[in-house]
Amino acid sequence: MASFHGNKINPSRFGLGQLKFYAFLIPLGLFMILPIVFIFSQSLKPLNELFLYPPTFFVHKPTFENISRLLSVSDITAIPATKYLFNSLIVTVIVVILSLIISAMTGYALSKKKFKLRKVIFEVNTIALMFVPAAVTIPRYLVVERLGLINNYLGHILPLLALPVGVFLIKQFVDQIPNELIEAAEMDGAHDLIVFWRIVLPIIKPAMSTVAILAFQMAWNNTETSILYMSHETLKTFAFYMTTLTTTIGNNVAGQGLAAAGAMLMFVPNLIIFIIMQSRVMDTMAHSGIK
C-alpha cells in the first residue's frame, strides 16, 4: 500500500502517534481477558477458597485436586469422566473433518458448477440459516430413529454435519476466484478433483479455518445428541456430563470445585482452536459478502 508522508496504514515500527491507540486498547484488552483468568483461577481453588467470603478473584493456593477428582470415576454414573471426554474428542474430530469436506465441496459446486436448481439449493441453504435448533428437533429425531442411529456413535455425528453457515461462507469466498483461473486449469487437462484440491482449497483456507471453528464449537458444546439419541451412558459426551455436574451436584460444596474444573476443561479447547485459527477469521468475513 502507498504511504502518505511516511505514515503507513500498518506501520512496522512504533511511533508516538500510536500511543493514543495503546492507551485505549491495552485497558480494553485487560478487561476482556478477565473472564478467562477467572475460569482458570476458579478451577484451581481449593474448597476453602471457593467459599471464602468476601470472594477472591485470584487463587492464593492453587491445586489440581478439582481436576483430578473430576477425571476420576463419577459418583453419579459410575463411569470415568475420561470416557465422556474421549467420546467428545472422537465425535468432535470426525464432525470437524467431515463438515469441512462437505462444506468446501458444496460451496465450490454451488459457486462454479452449472446445473439445474443450483440457485434454488443455495436459497434453501440460506433459508436454513434462520432455523433455530429447537425448530428441527422433532423431524431430526424422526430421521435419526428411522436410520437406526439411536445409541450409535453416528447419532452424534450425522445430525451435526449440516452446516448451512459453512456452505454460505465458503460459497461466497469461492465466488472471488476468477473463472478464468479454473478454465485455464481445465484446458490444461485438470479434472474437477485436481482443480478443487490444488487451486480452490489453497485459496479458501481462511474460510475453511472459520468453518472449522464453527464446527468445533458446535460439536464440542453439543448436548442435544446425548440427551435425545443416547440412552447408554457410555456413549454420552463430556458436554452432557457437565450438565449433570451443574444440575445434580453443582450446588453442593464438593460440586462447586468439580463444576469449576469442568468449565475450564470445556473452555480450553475452544480457546486453543480459536487462537490457532483466528488470524484467518477476519479475512473470511471480508470476503464473504456479495462481490
CA-angle at 271, arms to 203 and 102, nearest 5°: 40
pLDDT tens digits, the chain, 291 residues: what are they? 444 444 455 566 766 777 778 888 888 888 888 888 888 888 888 877 777 778 788 888 888 888 887 777 555 567 788 888 899 999 999 999 999 999 999 999 999 888 888 899 999 999 988 888 788 889 889 999 999 999 998 999 999 988 899 999 899 888 888 888 888 888 888 888 888 888 888 888 888 888 999 999 999 999 999 999 998 888 999 998 888 776 655 455 566 777 888 888 888 888 888 888 776 665 555 554 444
DSSP string for residues in 89-102: HHHHHHHHHHHHHH
Cα distance between residue 164 and residue 16, in whole Å: 46
C-alpha cell recorded at residue 145: 430413529
Which run of H or of E encompasses 88? helix 81-112
Asked if residue 109 is part of any domain, the answer here is yes
Nearest to 160 by CA among 146, 140, 142, 145: 140
Asked if residue 185 is part of any domain, the answer here is yes
- pTM of this structure: 0.81
Task: Report the domain count for the chain.
Answer: 1
Cα distance between residue 66 and residue 64, in whole Å: 6
Strand partners, 4: 7
Domain region containing 227: 85-287
Among all chains, which residue has been given the C-alpha cell 446445473?
A: 115
Residue 216 belongs to domain with CATH number = 1.10.3720.10
Asked if residue 71 is part of any domain, the answer here is no
Asked if residue 21 is part of any domain, the answer here is no
